[in-house]
Structures are given as structure tokens and as C-alpha cells.
């Protein structure tokens, strides 16, 4: 260990990205291809009375117009509840209704403008609480008739609930009896957007021999393949999905939508290549966004600060269709108590249909939302008992030997050392100077804390694989099915291989593109699992190579494989390093002086499959949802103006138990990016609906994200408790920078302004309203 | 005043080369760079002037190419990321980890490159004024700050 692990390695594709030569899906410019554009619903809930395409059909360049009535399929990853184009009614603002295929983008758009759809508005379900009311309007009247694609999703007939996950741990009644105080609170978090800088795009061609060639900006090419297969009964071997660089994903490109539409479009024009690329406005509402949440949490504790019991209701706003939201609700349930040990828990996590845009996975997979609720509760508990916020977290910290809400035993390897993260955070943000400091007669400096644990919530059989081939000079090609969406995972894979073979990383070439025909299957590039899954497959493939290299070299050097060692592209005798073969001598076959040859081409195969994971019990939630947790503690320091109710963010800090930091600058960058995004959620990012469920802010002019100069000083530190089954001990952390930040900000503002923040984002108006409300 | 109607053949100066393209008068410079000239290093992000991903230099000044018609670029020198040719800012972005997914990078590079040329002594306030035009969703802007400062301080 220590050959290259822990060093700053510049990403392999770096110079391609600073010269504009790195290609993304929509950079495929070709003449003669067709373009598709969508007419989307201007209503959140409405009946489609009629569609008049006559004027559009004869418009310039139009090749085909497709409506929901032309397609008799329903699709979805968990529940088949979604027509690719709306049929009979629309369920959210922005839902695709009609697709036009034309010879160029301009003509497609012009034709869309000529389509007339007659809608009859229906009552709108504009919030989770509306959706859960007795006699609520049903968004899916035929919920019970939908086909489920997995066994462990439980829609509730006659309601708007498309999934229900239950956690029952310990004895609730006993917990309440032993409690000396209870704290209860409700929380509301809005939907928001991924806002990856590259909008989603897909194209499809169907070859005369039946092959379906898709190119897409996706995090999940193998899911695209499966969903096209499942939805249209195209043989799976005929579907090939290609992915170039992806311009940011954040979970939003793990959902499959445009690929289905591109297939439908290509099929309608005899297989001709059709491209569909979202405008920014459609990327925000037509394609999936982040969940909203309404939660109600009640905790009971002893006067010493120890939480005894918790009763929690997390209701996820999944929008008009289920997509992956029931899995997000599951992830929330699995980690419902945050990084704290609570013996007695009842948690119900519902995924609820509303007439909002469809939600899918988003960085943190529900954990940012659940963390907001739990971390506000921790501060409220601390305040009620006059216990310091970090101390109250320390008292309840998840430690070795505890059991998670789903009753998995916590070890240092599988959960790291959360307490140590808190300790380091104290130093990092200078906690001892005080949490609330009055700077002048109207400026207050305040610090808030927010913490997390997160596991993968992957399928129990998620797989990954790696193929290694040699070039004739002994350099290696690495091929895996993970998509390079930004965090530099392909470079990390090369780094793990270089460490294992003790060779120069410059001599390892990584295939950046994914092609499902030739790349080994990788579940999805999500859940901060890539380094773990691909890394394990890399090590397994390297061991396969090493075995072949040693066996081959042993014959040639007339010794046993055990006598040999590998480093710097050489296989040498342990006892005499001057006796060796180079990779170059052997990897494409060794040739003796008389021409005889042996060994042949050496190739490495490595694979990984999740082990020991299980489904959650339907009634108690008992089960193992991920291979490990990554814990961390975060803080935000603000300066609050008591007159204006404005605030500046001075510092954002993260301490994460990384297990082992493989590539320090890359890891730091990912954590800073996560913190920045978390501050966006905390300060401004949210979909704003009118009374009819119409999203009001569908552009970057009105949907505000953090810009240069608005960000704080970032402070980062690590705990390194090795995860025993991970590559070089390293835990996943690509999502984690975001998770505790909105909570930390809310805690800082609550303290500084003397208010109780239970909603995001936190605007000066919101603070002012709460302050004025108190006065009245 | 220039007037264009229907498809027209125009000459543009892109990255030092005079090129002739056939355009509709409504085509944006962004569209022509990508679709007519294959210069896909310039990225569409919002096509509304909000994100800066499509920034190019026009006579040395950063311009959002989604907000400029191609015909407006006649008689001006346009530089895209493909025309930077080993500018210090490119190496600085690499060495300072100034990007992750790389999609917004071309736009940031163009703004930073122009800033260095126009305001070689830019202070934090000027840097902020200039770089607020662009959005990055992967980094938290910390590494971009390092990258632009390294170039301004002639450390690259």
C-alpha cells in the first residue's frame, strides 16, 4: 500500500475537457438525422379531450406526429404506471403529450406550436398532505391494475400512495413510558431540480437487422437497455446503449425517459436516427426532478439527552408518477434515525403521488431531506435540555455494537467512526469560541451542525465488472461499465489498478465511453458506489492478470509462481531481481529464440456482486439495504443581520469517515461541490407552484443556484477508519457533501435569529415572517 | 444597416480563420458554431443567457453565443475554446482541479482568459463580477477561483 493511493492524480480526460474535445451526447452533429420535440402539458392535472394535429402534420419538414393513443405501453422502473406520452389525462405540468419528428429542430418546434390540444382541467393535488386527505382526488384511478416490476413495492389501493416502507424496531410503548420529555415537529421540503449543466439528450436508430442503437446522456445505460426490452419486447441482445461523457448527473440521469421516447420516435420513422434533446425549461419539469418531503417526527428522551424512542412519518412527494421514489422512501426509512442509536423506532415512509413534476433519485437519495428533519430535532432536543448541540449528538452517536433501524449490527468497518467525525468537526470550526457570537449591535455570527450516515440502498444483487487487456508494449486497457459523469471514477479505477500492479498509472488507458455491447455490466453509476463496486472488480481483474503472469513467467523462468513478484511492469525472481521478464515480453505470448511460442494473450476479468444484502421485511423493515455506511459531520457558519434578516455564509465544513482518501484533490472537490449544492438547497433552490400546480420558475433566471462569489470558505477534514471489504479501505462519499448542509444552515439560522426553521429554502422573507409572527 | 432575409451566405472569422457558412438570419452564433462548423466545445446550457456555458470571445470580450445572432458576428473576431491553443488558463484548470464533468468548462475558460487579458490586475471584486456570469454545478467554485488566481498571478 502507498504506491499511488493517496496521491493527487489528475483525471485522465483532463486535457480533453479543457480543449472542448471531450464529446457529450448532444455533440454528435450529423446531417440527415431527424429531431424530435415535445408538446408538454400546460396543466398539472387535466383530461385530454382532443388533440388536433392537422395543421402540424402538413407543416414543413414534419415526418411523423405521435400521441399517447399511438402507443399502447406503460413503463416505469418499479411500477408500470407511466405512458411515455400522456393518455386520456395529464398528471403534471410539463408532462409529454405529443411528439413531433421532423427533419430539423426548428421545424419540429414550429410544428409543435401548430398542435391544438383541448384540455379539461381536473382538481389539482398540490401537496403531499392534499394527496393523503380522506376522499382525496385520485391521480391514478387504476393503481391496483398496474404491473409491478419488483416484488417489494407496496402501493395502497384506492389512495395516492404508491409505496409504503415500515420500520418497527424495539418496543415503542416502553420507550414512551421511559421518556422524560418529548419533542415533536413537522417539516416541509420542496421539490427542486438537478440542474446538471448538460441538459438530457438521447438519440436512437433502429437498424434493418433489428439492432436498436441508443446514445444517451445517462447514468444507467444498462437500465436503459432493460427498460426498452421490458417496455417494447425488443430482444435484450439487440439493444446497444452508448454513453459518451455525461455533463453532470446528480441522480437525474439515472431515470430512463428520453431514451424511451427516442425509441418510439425512431420506430415511427422506419428506424431513422432521431435525436431528442431537452431545452433547459423542459429539463427542469418534463424530465424528473428531486423529491419533496413532508415529515412529522416525535422523539422521546431522558433528561441526560439520550433518545429512547422515535415515531416518524416521512411522506415523499414523488409527483405524477412513481419512478424510483418508493426506493427513495425506503432509503429514508433505512436511515431514518440519522447517525444516532435509537432503540425503539416506528417509521412509516410513504411515496405519494401528487400533481407535481415526477421525482427521481437526487444526490443523497433522500438523505438530505431526512437529515434536515433529524438534525433539526437534535438541536431542538439539545436546546430543551440545555445541552450543547455537538454534545447531544455525541450522547446519541451510533457506535460499534449498536443496531441500525433495520437491525443491522454496526461495526467500525461497516459504519466508520461517527464520534470521531464530531470531534474533528469541533476543531475544524473552532467550536470552543461559542456557537452564537454577537459581533455588533445588528450582526450575529452563528454556527450550526448537521450530520449523516448513508448507505447504498442498491438492489441486493447489484453487479459490476472489469475487463483488462494488454497492448503489445505492456500497457493496459481498462474497460468498465461505469459512466464518467464528473467525479473522476474512471481515473480512480486506474489508480486502484496501478496500486495493485505497482505500475505507472500513465501506462493504464481507461475507456471513457460505455458501450453496453462490449463494456461489462455495471448496475448504475449512482449511490456513491462506483469506487467500491468497480474498485473491487478492478482488484479481482488484477488478481486474474497476476495469476496468469506468474504462471506464464514461472514456466519461462523455470521456477514456481510463488518464487516471483510483480512491480513496474516486470515479473522478477524474489531472490534475484535481475532475473525477470517484462510485461511486454509475455502479455501477447512469449517467443523463444527458435520461434516456439507459449502463454498467449493475457486478459484480466474481474467481477463484483453485492453480498449479504437482503429485502426488508414488509412489516418490520428488518434487513440489510447496503454493504456499508459512510458517516460524517458538517457545519455552517453564518453572519446574520438582525435588521435586514439577511445572512452571509462564512464557512461550510465537512468531516467524513472516508476509510481511506484515495485521490485527495478529487475527493476534496467532490465534497466542496456537494456542500455548494447543499447551500443552494438551503438558501434558494425550490420549485414554486401556483395554486394550480404550475411550476413558476423553469429557467435559471428564476431558479437561483449558487454562483461564484456567493460561496463560503470550505473546510474539510477526514477520519480514516478502514472499511475492510473496500478497495484500500475507502468508503464512498461522492454524494455526501450535500447531506447535512441544509440542516446545518437551518440550525445556524434558527439559533442566530431565534426562530424555528422547519422549511427550505430559508429566505430573508421567511425569517422576517417568522420574526414578525412571533411579535404579533 | 445590414439586412438579411431567408438563407444567406455569410463570412465569419472564427479562431483566426475566415469561414463561409449558409445561415438563416435567426440562427444564433452558438447554433452556427456547433451545427455548421462542428465546434462543439461551445456548449448550450440554457440558451437564455443565464448559465454562460456557451461563452465565446468576440473581439476579446466574453459573449454568450446563445444571445448573439451569427449575422451579428460578421466583421468580428470570434474565438472559441478550440481557438485557445494551450492558453495558460487551460493548464491552470487542469492543475487546480477546476472542473469535474467538464460541461461548463469551456465557458469558464473563455471568461477567465478574457479577464486575464483585459484586467491583468483584477482584484477579488472584479473576478467575482466577471465569473458570476457563469454557472458550475459540480465544483463549489473553489478550484475555479484557484485556477483563475494562478493565471492572474502568473503562476502558470
Q: Do residues A102 and A108 lie in contact, with contact meaning Cβ atoms separated by under 8 Å? A: yes
Domain stop point among B49, B81, B113? B81
- C-alpha distances in angstroms, B109 versus A485, A738, B80, B147, B156? 20, 26, 10, 10, 14
pLDDT at site A773 = 74
Q: What is the pLDDT of residues A115-134, one digit of tens each?
A: 999 999 999 999 999 999 99
Same domain, B15 and B77: yes
Nearest CB partner across the interface for B142, out of A17, A106, A672: A672
Residue B144 belongs to a domain: yes
Q: Which residues pair with A353 in a beta bridge?
A: A319
Same domain, B116 and B136: yes
Contacts of residue A126, Cβ cutoff 8 Å, sequence gap at least 6: A44, A354, A355, A356, A689, A691, A692, A693
Ordered per-residue pLDDT tens for chain B, 156 residues: 778 989 999 999 999 999 999 999 999 999 999 999 999 999 999 999 999 999 999 999 999 999 999 999 999 999 999 999 999 999 999 999 999 999 999 999 999 999 999 999 999 999 999 999 999 999 999 999 999 999 999 998
Please give the biggest Cα pair distance in chain A.
Answer: 99
Distance CA A260, CA A81 (A): 14
Same domain, B75 and B139: no
Burial class of residue A764 (count of CB atoms within 10 Å of its CB; 0-12, 13-18, 19+): middle
Q: Which residues of A touch B42 (CB under 8 A)?
A: 20
- Flag whether residue A685 sits within 8 Å of chain B, measured between CB atoms: no
Q: Do residues A266 and A64 lie in contact, with contact meaning Cβ atoms separated by under 8 Å? A: no
Q: Which residues pair with A654 in a beta bridge?
A: A634, A716
Contacts of residue A248, Cβ cutoff 8 Å, sequence gap at least 6: A194, A196, A197, A198, A485, A486, B100, B101, B103, B137, B138
Same domain, B69 and B18: yes
Interhelix angle A741-753/A367-385, nearest 10 degrees:
30
Chain-chain contact of B101 with A19 (C-beta, under 8 angstroms):
no
Q: What is the CA radius of gyration of chain B?
A: 16
Chain-chain contact of B102 with A26 (C-beta, under 8 angstroms):
no
Chain-chain contact of B140 with A676 (C-beta, under 8 angstroms):
yes
Contacts of residue A638, Cβ cutoff 8 Å, sequence gap at least 6: A445, A446, A447, A448, A647, A648, A649, A650, A745, A748, A749, A752
Q: What is the CA radius of gyration of chain A?
A: 27
Residue B2 belongs to a domain: no
Q: Do residues A748 and A636 lie in contact, with contact meaning Cβ atoms separated by under 8 Å? A: yes
Same domain, B42 and B101: no
What region does A147 belong to: left with phi over 0, alpha with psi -120 to 50, or beta? Answer: beta
The number of beta carbons lying within 10 Å of the beta carbon of residue A626 is 26
Q: By C-alpha distance, which of A555, A599, A554 is closest to A572?
A: A554
Residue B125 belongs to a domain: yes
Q: By C-alpha distance, which of A62, A164, A151 is closest to A106?
A: A62
- Flag whether residue A488 sits within 8 Å of chain B, measured between CB atoms: yes
Distance CA A650, CA A628 (A): 33
Domain stop point among B81, B97, B120? B81
Distance CA A649, CA A679 (A): 9
Nearest CB partner across the interface for A709, out of B41, B42, B128: B128
Same domain, B49 and B77: yes
Distance CA A452, CA A374 (A): 9
Q: Which residues of A touch B38 (CB under 8 A)?
A: 29
Q: Which residues of B touch A666 (CB under 8 A)?
A: 97
Average pLDDT over residues A710-715: 98
| B42 to chain A: closest CA residue | A20
Q: Do residues B109 and B89 lie in contact, with contact meaning Cβ atoms separated by under 8 Å? A: yes
Q: By C-alpha distance, which of A775, A282, A729, A745 is closest to A532?
A: A729
Chain-chain contact of A19 with B50 (C-beta, under 8 angstroms):
no
Q: What is the pLDDT of residues A433-477, one digit of tens each?
A: 999 999 999 999 999 999 999 999 999 999 999 999 999 999 999
Distance CA A243, CA A245 (A): 7
Residue % of chain A over a pLDDT of 70: 99
Q: What is the pLDDT of residues A221-263, one digit of tens each?
A: 999 999 999 999 999 999 999 999 999 999 999 999 999 999 9
Mean of pLDDT over chain A: 97
φ, ψ for residue A674 (rounded to 5)?
-65, -45
Nearest CB partner across the interface for B141, out of A15, A676, A700: A676
Q: Which residues of B touch A246 (CB under 8 A)?
A: 101
Among A10, A16, A18, most B C-beta atoms within 10 A, so best to mutate, is A18
Q: What is the pLDDT of residues A484-513, one digit of tens each?
A: 999 999 999 999 999 999 999 999 999 999
Domain stop point among B81, B112, B129? B81
pLDDT at site A291 = 98
Residue B1 belongs to a domain: no
Tell me: pLDDT of A776 over 60.
Answer: no
Beta strands (DSSP E) in A642-680 are 647-657
pLDDT at site A2 = 73
Contacts of residue A335, Cβ cutoff 8 Å, sequence gap at least 6: A367, A370, A404, A405, A453, A454, A455, A629
Chain-chain contact of B42 with A666 (C-beta, under 8 angstroms):
no
Same domain, B73 and B107: no
Q: Do residues A11 and A484 lie in contact, with contact meaning Cβ atoms separated by under 8 Å? A: no
CA-based torsion, A99, A285, A487, B92: positive or negative: positive
Distance CA A533, CA A461 (A): 12
Chain-chain contact of A20 with B41 (C-beta, under 8 angstroms):
yes
Q: What is the pLDDT of residues A581-633, one digit of tens each?
A: 999 999 999 999 999 999 999 999 999 999 999 999 999 999 999 999 999 99
Among B90, B92, B138, most A C-beta atoms within 10 A, so best to mutate, is B138
Nearest CB partner across the interface for A699, out of B46, B131, B132: B46
Same domain, B119 and B67: no
- Which residues of chain A from 252 to 281 reach within 8 Å of chain B, CB to CB? 279-280
Tell me: pLDDT of A293 over 70.
Answer: yes
CATH number of the domain residue B31 falls in: 3.10.20.30
Distance CA A379, CA A747 (A): 7
For A114, the grid coordinates are: 401548430
Distance CA A285, CA A293 (A): 17
Residue B3 belongs to a domain: no
Distance CA A367, CA A350 (A): 15
Tally C-beta pairs within 8 A across A and B: 161
pLDDT at site A774 = 58
Residue B55 belongs to a domain: yes
Chain-chain contact of A197 with B132 (C-beta, under 8 angstroms):
no
Distance CA A462, CA A496 (A): 21
H/E segment holding residue A769: helix A764-775
Unique residue bearing C-alpha cell 438547497: A681
Please give the biggest Cα pair distance in chain B.
Answer: 50
Q: How many domains does chain B have?
A: 2
Give the range of the structural domain holding residue B140, as residue numbers without chain letter: 88-152
CA dihedral A301, A422, A313, A331 (to 10 degrees): -140
H/E segment holding residue B151: helix B142-152
Query: Smallest CA–CA separation between A482 and chain B, in Å?
Result: 14
B75-86 b/e (C-beta count within 10 Å ≥ 16 → b): ebebbbbbbbee
| A20 to chain B: closest CA residue | B41
- Which residues of chain A from 585 to 614 reach within 8 Å of chain B, CB to CB? none
- β-pair type (A713-719, A647-657): parallel
| B143 to chain A: closest CA residue | A669
pLDDT classification of A675: cutoffs 50, 70, 90: very high
- C-alpha distances in angstroms, A736 versus A416, A451, A524, A669, A671? 14, 10, 18, 12, 7
Tell me: pLDDT of A394 over 60.
Answer: yes
Overall size of chain A counted in residues: 776
Contacts of residue A671, Cβ cutoff 8 Å, sequence gap at least 6: A654, A656, A714, A716, A733, A736, A737
Same domain, B92 and B132: yes
pLDDT at site A775 = 56
Query: Smallest CA–CA separation between A633 and chain B, in Å?
Result: 18
Residue B133 belongs to a domain: yes
- β-pair type (A344-353, A212-216): unpaired
Geometric angle at alpha carbon A626, from A623 and A629, rounded to 5°: 115
The number of beta carbons lying within 10 Å of the beta carbon of residue A340 is 24
- C-alpha distances in angstroms, A597 versus A89, A466, A545, A554, A624? 70, 28, 19, 15, 51
Nearest CB partner across the interface for A198, out of B34, B80, B103: B103
Contacts of residue A388, Cβ cutoff 8 Å, sequence gap at least 6: A382, A435
pLDDT at site A772 = 82
- β-pair type (A588-591, A597-601): antiparallel
Same domain, B69 and B96: no
Same domain, B94 and B148: yes
Query: Smallest CA–CA separation between A419 and chain B, in Å?
Result: 27
H/E segment holding residue A181: strand A181-189
Same domain, B12 and B61: yes
Average pLDDT over residues A53-63: 98
Query: Smallest CA–CA separation between B75 and chain A, in Å?
Result: 24
List alpha helices for A416-558, DSSP H: 418-428, 489-501, 530-557
Side-chain half-sphere of A437: how many Cα atoms within 13 Å?
12
Chain-chain contact of A20 with B94 (C-beta, under 8 angstroms):
no
| B100 to chain A: closest CA residue | A486
Residue B37 belongs to a domain: yes
Nearest CB partner across the interface for B132, out of A21, A677, A709: A709
Q: Which residues of A touch B40 (CB under 8 A)?
A: 20, 23, 27, 29
Q: Which residues of B touch A700 (CB under 8 A)?
A: 46, 48, 50-51, 135
Burial class of residue A471 (count of CB atoms within 10 Å of its CB; 0-12, 13-18, 19+): middle
CATH number of the domain residue B111 falls in: 1.10.150.120
Amino acid at each position: 500500500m502507498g504506491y499511488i493511493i493517496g496521491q493527487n492524480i489528475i483525471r485522465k480526460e483532463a486535457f480533453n475537457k479543457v480543449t472542448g474535445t471531450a464529446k457529450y451526447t448532444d455533440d454528435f452533429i450529423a446531417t440527415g438525422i431527424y429531431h424530435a420535440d415535445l408538446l408538454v402539458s400546460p396543466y398539472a392535472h387535466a383530461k385530454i379531450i382532443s388533440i388536433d394535429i392537422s395543421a402540424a402534420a402538413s407543416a414543413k419538414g414534419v415526418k411523423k406526429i405521435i400521441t399517447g393513443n399511438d402507443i399502447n405501453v406503460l413503463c416505469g422502473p418499479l411500477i408500470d404506471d407511466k405512458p411515455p406520452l400522456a393518455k386520456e389525462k395529464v398528471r403534471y405540468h410539463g408532462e409529454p403529450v405529443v411528439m413531433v419528428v421532423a427533419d430539423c429542430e426548428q421545424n419540429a418546434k414550429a410544428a409543435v406550436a401548430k398542435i391544438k390540444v383541448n384540455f379539461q382541467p381536473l382538481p389539482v393535488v398540490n401537496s403531499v398532505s392534499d394527496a393523503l386527505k380522506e376522499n382525496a382526488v385520485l391521480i391514478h384511478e387504476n393503481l391496483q391494475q398496474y404491473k409491478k416490476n419488483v416484488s417489494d413495492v407496496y402501493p395502497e389501493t384506492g389512495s395516492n400512495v404508491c409505496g409504503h416502507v415500515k420500520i418497527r424496531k424495539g418496543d415503542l410503548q416502553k420507550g414512551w413510558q421511559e421518556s422524560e420529555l418529548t419533542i415533536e415537529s413537522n417539516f416541509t421540503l420542496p421539490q427542486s431540480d438537478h440542474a446538471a449543466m448538460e441538459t438530457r439528450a438521447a438519440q436512437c436508430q433502429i437498424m434493418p437487422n433489428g439492432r436498436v442503437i441508443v446514445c444517451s446522456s445517462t447514468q444507467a445505460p444498462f437500465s436503459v437497455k432493460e427498460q426498452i426490452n421490458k417496455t417494447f419486447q425488443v430482444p435484450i441482445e439487440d439493444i446497444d446503449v452508448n454513453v459518451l461523457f455525461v455533463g453532470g448527473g446528480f441522480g437525474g440521469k439515472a431515470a430512463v425517459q428520453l431514451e424511451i421516447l427516442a425509441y418510439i420516435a425512431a420506430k415511427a420513422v422506419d428506424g431513422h436516427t432521431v435525436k431528442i434533446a431537452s431545452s433547459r425549461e423542459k429539463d427542469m419539469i418534463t424530465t424528473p426532478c428531486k423529491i419533496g418531503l413532508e415529515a412529522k417526527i416525535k422523539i422521546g428522551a431522558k433528561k441526560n439527552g439520550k433518545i429512547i424512542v422515535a415515531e416518524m412519518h416521512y411522506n415523499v412527494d414523488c409527483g405524477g408518477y412513481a419512478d424510483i421514489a418508493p426506493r427513495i422512501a425506503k432509503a429514508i426509512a433505512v436511515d431514518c434515525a440519522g447517525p444516532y442509536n435509537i432503540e425503539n423506532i416506528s417509521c412509516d415512509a410513504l411515496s405519494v403521488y401528487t400533481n407535481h413534476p415526477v421525482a427521481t433519485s437526487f444526490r443523497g437519495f433522500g438523505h438530505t431531506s431526512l437529515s434536515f428533519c433529524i438534525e433539526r430535532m437534535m438541536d431542538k432536543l439539545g436546546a430543551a435540555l440545555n445541552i450543547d448541540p455537538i454534545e447531544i449528538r455525541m450522547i446519541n452517536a451510533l457506535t460499534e455494537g449498536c443496531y441500525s433501524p433495520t437491525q443491522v449490527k454496526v461495526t467500525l468497518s461497516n459504519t466508520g467512526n461517527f464520534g470521531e467525525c464530531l470531534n474533528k468537526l469541533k476543531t475544524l470550526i473552532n467550536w470552543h469560541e461559542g456557537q452564537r457570537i454577537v459581533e455588533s449591535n445588528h450582526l450575529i455570527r452563528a454556527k450550526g451542525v448537521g450530520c449523516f450516515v448513508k448507505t447504498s440502498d442498491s438492489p441486493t444483487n447489484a453487479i459490476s465488472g472489469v475487463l483488462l487487456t494488454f497492448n503489445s508494449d505492456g500497457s493496459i486497457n481498462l474497460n468498465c461499465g461505469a459512466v464518467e459523469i464528473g467525479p473522476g471514477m474512471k481515473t480512480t479505477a486506474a489508480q486502484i489498478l496501478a496500486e495493485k500492479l505497482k505500475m505507472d498509472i500513465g501506462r493504464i488507458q481507461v475507456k471513457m465511453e460505455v458501450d453496453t455491447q462490449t463494456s461489462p455490466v455495471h448496475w448504475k453509476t449512482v449511490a456513491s458506489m462506483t469506487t467500491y463496486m468497480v474498485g473491487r472488480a478492478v482488484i479481482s481483474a488484477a488478481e486474474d492478470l497476476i495469476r496468469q503472469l506468474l504462471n506464464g513467467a514461472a514456466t519461462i523462468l523455470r521456477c514456481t509462481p510463488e518464487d516471483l513478484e510483480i512491480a513496474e511492469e516486470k515479473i522478477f525472481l524474489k531472490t534475484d531481481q535481475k532475473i525477470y521478464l517484462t510485461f511486454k515480453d509475455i502479455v501477447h505470448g512469449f517467443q523463444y529464440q527458435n520461434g516456439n511460442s507459449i502463454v498467449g494473450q493475457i486478459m484480466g476479468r474481474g467481477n463484483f456482486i453485492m453480498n449479504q444484502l437482503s429485502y426488508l421485511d414488509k412489516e418490520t423493515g428488518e434487513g440489510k439495504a447496503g454493504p456499508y455506511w459512510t458517516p460524517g459531520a458538517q457545519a455552517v457558519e453564518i453572519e446574520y443581520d438582525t435588521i435586514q434578516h439577511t445572512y452571509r455564509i462564512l464557512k461550510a465544513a465537512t468531516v467524513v469517515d472516508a476509510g481511506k482518501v484515495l485521490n485527495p484533490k478529487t475527493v476534496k472537490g467532490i465534497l466542496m461541490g456537494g456542500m455548494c449544492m447543499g447551500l443552494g438547497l438551503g438558501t434558494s433552490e425550490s420549485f414554486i407552484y401556483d395554486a394550480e400546480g404550475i411550476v413558476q420558475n423553469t429557467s435559471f433566471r428564476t431558479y437561483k443556484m449558487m454562483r461564484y462569489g456567493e460561496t463560503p470558505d470550505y473546510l474539510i477534514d477526514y477520519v480514516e477508519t478502514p472499511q475492510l471489504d473496500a478497495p484500500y479501505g475507502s468508503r464512498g462519499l461522492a454524494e455526501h457533501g450535500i447531506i447535512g448542509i441544509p440542516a446545518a444552515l437551518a440550525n445556524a439560522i434558527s439559533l442566530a435569529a431565534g426562530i424555528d426553521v422547519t422549511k427550505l429554502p430559508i429566505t430573508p422573507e421567511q425569517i422576517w415572517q417568522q420574526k414578525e409572527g412571533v411579535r404579533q | 444597416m445590414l439586412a438579411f432575409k431567408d438563407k444567406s451566405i455569410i463570412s465569419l472569422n472564427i479562431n483566426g480563420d475566415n469561414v463561409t457558412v449558409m445561415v438563416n438570419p435567426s440562427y444564433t452564433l452558438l447554433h452556427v458554431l456547433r451545427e455548421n462548423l462542428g465546434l462543439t466545445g461551445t456548449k448550450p446550457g440554457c440558451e437564455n443567457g443565464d448559465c454562460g456555458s456557451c461563452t465565446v470571445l468576440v473581439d476579446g470580450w466574453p459573449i454568450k453565443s446563445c444571445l448573439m445572432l451569427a449575422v451579428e458576428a460578421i466583421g468580428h473576431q470570434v474565438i472559441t475554446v478550440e481557438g485557445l491553443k494551450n492558453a495558460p488558463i487551460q493548464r491552470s484548470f487542469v492543475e487546480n482541479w477546476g472542473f469535474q464533468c467538464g460541461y461548463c468548462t469551456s465557458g469558464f475558460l473563455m471568461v477567465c482568459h478574457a479577464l486575464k487579458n483585459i484586467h491583468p490586475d483584477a482584484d477579488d471584486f472584479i473576478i467575482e463580477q466577471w465569473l458570476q456570469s457563469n454557472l458550475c454545478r459540480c465544483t463549489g467554485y473553489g478550484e475555479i477561483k484557484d485556477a483563475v488566481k494562478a493565471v492572474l498571478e502568473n503562476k502558470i
